[in-house]
Amino acid sequence: MARVTLRDVRKAFDGQEVVRGISAEIGDGEFVVLVGPSGCGKSTLLRMIAGLEEITAGTVAIDGAVVNDVPPKDRDIAMVFQNYALYPHMTVAENMGFSLRLRGVDKRSIEAAVARAAAALEVAHLLDRTPRQLSGGQRQRVAMGRAIVRNPRLFLFDEPLSNLDAKLRVQMRTELRELHARLGVTSIYVTHDQIEAMTMADRILVLRDGRVEQQGRPLDLYDRPVNTFVAGFLGSPA
Ligand code: ADP
Ligand code: MG
């Protein structure tokens, strides 16, 4: 588990700032949702935390240590995207164990880690299947499994459910929260879906044009939005 501290984080592409000074503290074990309209900088911020995008200015710290110059593989973070491409020619077990194999972990430890993750995600009965033999929800669970086998201290989710149909999306919201309750890993979850944000978050950061417009617990934001943007975005009467 980890605490994440963002201090005046900025990102410019070709001199144009798209993340414009974000400061926030994400507590150990917290489930924080970044919500905001398309193009407001959510993915860019997440990618900077993951180390996949260079930070133009400001600092990202994990457990108090600035990681701006730490390569992604050494940050101990797992990221789950909406396009969770599983390797089609590998079984579920091989998909889940792959990142450990790359790191030279021995076969027996990989099997144990995969078994643990598969049990947590209730996919233990699917380990010998290939991705093609899975439903959409099962694939999403395997993608999660792939992320948790390494015991990361931080999960980053970038709209992981947006490719699923409505019914499955609702079900997966609950499942992801249950998984979080079981594992307790600090999670930063990006979505443009207000309902997802309201139902999943311990705390919400509402982003607008590269800045935090308001942050707080879901009901507090709903009851006391600071302006009509937040009110309109979260769906409460302005
Ligand atoms: P969100 O995830 O909230 O939809 P993004 O973080 O993807 O927003 O993008 C924020 C802004 O930065 C958008 O205007 C987008 O066009 C721009 N942007 C993102 N990545 C790049 C890039 N690699 N080069 C130039 N502009 C980019
Ligand atoms: Mg995005």
* pLDDT tens per residue across span 67-103: 999 999 899 999 888 777 799 999 999 999 998 998 8
Mean pLDDT value across the chain: 93
d(C-alpha 141, C-alpha 161), whole Å: 11
Q: In sequence order, which residues have a C-beta less than 8 Å from that of residue 76 and are 6 or more positions away?
A: 2, 62, 150, 152, 153, 154
| Mean pLDDT, residues 205-212 taken together | 97
Greatest C-alpha distance within the chain: 58
Neighbours of ion ligand 2 (CB under 5 A): 43
The model's confidence at residue 228, banded by pLDDT at 50, 70 and 90, is: very high
Residues 50 and 83: beta-carbon distance below 8 Å: no
Q: How far is CA 153 from the centre of its chain?
A: 12
Nearest CA to ligand 1 atom 24: 13
d(C-alpha 167, C-alpha 31), whole Å: 22
What region, left, alpha or beta, does residue 119 occupy, with left being phi > 0 and alpha being psi -120 to 50 degrees? alpha
Q: How far is CA 107 from the centre of its chain?
A: 28
**Nearest ligand 1 atom to alpha carbon 44:** 6
pLDDT of 42 strictly over 80: yes
Q: Tokens 């233990």 — which residue?
A: 124
Nearest CA to ligand 1 atom 15: 39
ipTM for this model: 0.99
pLDDT of 157 strictly over 90: yes
The model's confidence at residue 120, banded by pLDDT at 50, 70 and 90, is: confident
Which one, of 218, 191, 153, 182, lies nearest residue 4 by Cα?
Answer: 153
Average the pLDDT over each of 37-41, 78-82, 144-148 and give the range with the smallest value.
Answer: 78-82
pLDDT of 167 strictly over 70: yes
Q: How far is CA 29 from the centre of its chain?
A: 13
pLDDT tens-digit readout, 169-202: 898 899 899 989 988 999 999 999 999 999 999 9
CB-count burial class (<10 Å; 0-12, 13-18, 19+) for 231 = middle
Q: What are the two backbone dihedrals, phi and then psi, of residue 21, each rounded to the nearest 5 degrees?
A: 95, 70
pLDDT for 69 equals 97
| Mean pLDDT, residues 115-134 taken together | 93
Cα of 149 from ligand 1 centre, angstroms: 30
Cα of 83 from ligand 2 centre, angstroms: 12
> Using a 6 Å cutoff on CB, does residue 38 contact ligand 1?
yes
**Nearest ligand 1 atom to alpha carbon 36:** 3
pLDDT of 238 strictly over 50: no
DSSP-assigned beta bridge partners for residue 167 = none
Which bound ligand lies closest to the C-alpha atom of 37? 1
Nearest CA to ligand 1 atom 5: 41
pLDDT of 159 strictly over 50: yes
Q: Tokens 């942050």 — which residue?
A: 215
